[in-house]
Amino acid sequence: MDFCLTEQDGPILTVTMNNPDKLNALIPDSHAQMAAIFRDFEADTTLRIAILTGAGRAFCAGSDISAYVAGTNRPLPPEGGGGLTHYHSRTKPVIAAVNGLAMGGGFEIALACDIIVADERASFALPEPKVGAAAMGGGLVQLARKLPASVAMQLALTSSRIDATRAYALGLVSELAPAGQVLAIAKAMAWQIVAGAPLAVAASRHIVQCTLDGASRDMLDREETALRQRVMASADFTEGMAAFMAKRSPTWTGH
């Protein structure tokens, strides 16, 4: 089966995990399918941002345990779980529109996205230890990076759930959506992002990501200098300044 549905709206790609009868549990082929989707997204010059969500009442309940029991599970692609958890060379932003449960691998995939928008009814957990496993798909690393140390350790060791309201209060979730509105809010945010110049958005994302990855001050200075020169030498920089002075909307070319 095709695990994901995709829809393009101008520069925005919406990817929907589509296994609602099993709360969008990750089937054996799902990771490879999603990796292909996000590789194509990265390569497609007409696309600037992706939104990842789930069909039905869940974002993703994690791996389909029956595949492990039956021995039909497959190795992850180089890009990792959901084609995202280890896709470190990705340059375009991805928003997770978490519409419901995000458990185990589903939570790890959400954590691998650049921004999390969550339905007020959503909840998150890494319950792997309860079935003898551990969240080694990047989830533990991301928890420690994005949450206070004591909270990250609590969630990692107890497998307890955190609801969307608390996740928002802790800064894990950037926007809390009224019930049923998470995709609309994620799309509105995506349009805000694409209103910026492509090179400037990519440069901004890169510097924030380098900082989160623990880059040294010297490395950050070098990266900032190189990117500043590239952005300010671009045609889009000239266009942006001209549009501002003329009080009109800019027309970006990505160059």
Cα–Cα distance, 220 to 223 (Å, whole number): 5
Which residues belong to the active site?
108, 128
Is 13 within 8 Å of 49 (Cβ atoms)? Answer: yes
Contact 55, 17 (CB under 8 A): yes
Token digits of residue 93: 């932003």
* Residue 67: both structure tokens together: 């595949």
Listed residue (62, 75, 76) closest to 22, CA to CA: 62
What are the backbone dihedrals phi and psi of residue 23, each rounded to the nearest 5 degrees, phi first? 55, 35
d(CA 47, CA 191): 12
- Sequence-ordered alpha helix ranges (H) in the chain: 30-43, 65-70, 105-112, 139-146, 149-158, 164-169, 182-194, 198-212, 217-232, 235-246
